[in-house]
Amino acid sequence: MVDQETLIHKTYPNIVSLGDVAGIPTSKTSAAVRKQLPIAVHNLIDVMKGNEPSKKYNGYACCPIVTDYGHVLLAEFDYNKDPDITFPFSLLDMSKEQRAAWMLKHDFLKPMFFYGMLNGWM
């Protein structure tokens, strides 16, 4: 089992885990993996150098909730369920459905997944 902040295994400190398989109390999303990855890499290097893991993951996750055609509620939050806005629409009220979030999910992330990731280009 890994520590939910350092992502380092509690018993075997030479093991790091992230993503859906990590077993930490966050939402299983690619958005969470995006935040976990640099922390996992940094802490693994710390451990390999004989140091304590120095970076902490705050539980960031992002759940794009489609509310109708043309609108998405982009819920970004941390372990404490506090808002943790990272996308550039932070100037908008993200507690409301947004057309910009729909465009992100429908027009950008969807083709990125189907044409980019599934074909192994990214």
Ligand X SMILES: Cc1cc2nc3c(=O)[nH]c(=O)nc-3n(C[C@H](O)[C@H](O)[C@H](O)COP(=O)(O)OP(=O)(O)OC[C@H]3O[C@@H](n4cnc5c(N)ncnc54)[C@H](O)[C@@H]3O)c2cc1C
Could you say whether residue 33 binds ligand X (CB under 6 A)?
yes
* 64 makes contact with ligand X (CB under 6 A): yes
Tokens in use for 3? 């520590």
Among residues 2, 7, 8, 31, the one that binds ligand X under rule CB under 6 A: 31
Give the other-Cβ count within 10 Å of 42's Cβ.
Answer: 16
Contact between 20 and ligand X per CB under 6 A: yes
Vertex 101: Cα angle to 77 and 25 (nearest 5): 25
Q: How many CA atoms lie within 13 A of 103 on its CB side?
A: 6
Residue 29 binds ligand X (CB under 6 A): yes
Residue nearest to ligand X (CB): 19
Point out which residues bind ligand X (CB under 6 A): 19-21, 28-31, 33, 62, 64
